[in-house]
Amino acid sequence: MELNEFIENFAVQFDETDAAEIAATTVFKGLDEWSSLIALSIIAMADEEYGVALKGEDIRNSNTIEDLFKLVQSRI
C-alpha cells in the first residue's frame, strides 16, 4: 500500500472538497466538508480497500491523513 494511493482513496470520499486540498499532512477534521458521515465512509473505505477494520476511536485519535495511513498500514 502506497501513501499516494491511500490519499486518493481518502479524497474520493469527499464530494465538494478539491482533491488538491488533501495531502499527507492535511488535518482532515479541519476540512469544511468533514462530518460523521465522512468518517463512516473512511471506515468503510479502509475495510473495502485494505481489509482493515477501523473504529471511531481510531479516527478520533488521528490528526492527519498520514496518521490514518500509518494506522491502516500497521494492521495489514
Going from N- to C-terminal start, the domains of the chain cover 3-75
Q: How far is CA 15 from the centre of its chain?
A: 14
pLDDT-based confidence at residue 72 (cuts at 50, 70, 90): very high
Query: For residue 17, how many other CB atoms are within 10 A of its CB?
Result: 17
What is the C-alpha separation between 54 and 45, in angstroms, rounded? 10
What is the pTM for the complete model shown? 0.93
CATH number of 3-75: 1.10.1200.10
Per-chain mean pLDDT for the chain: 96
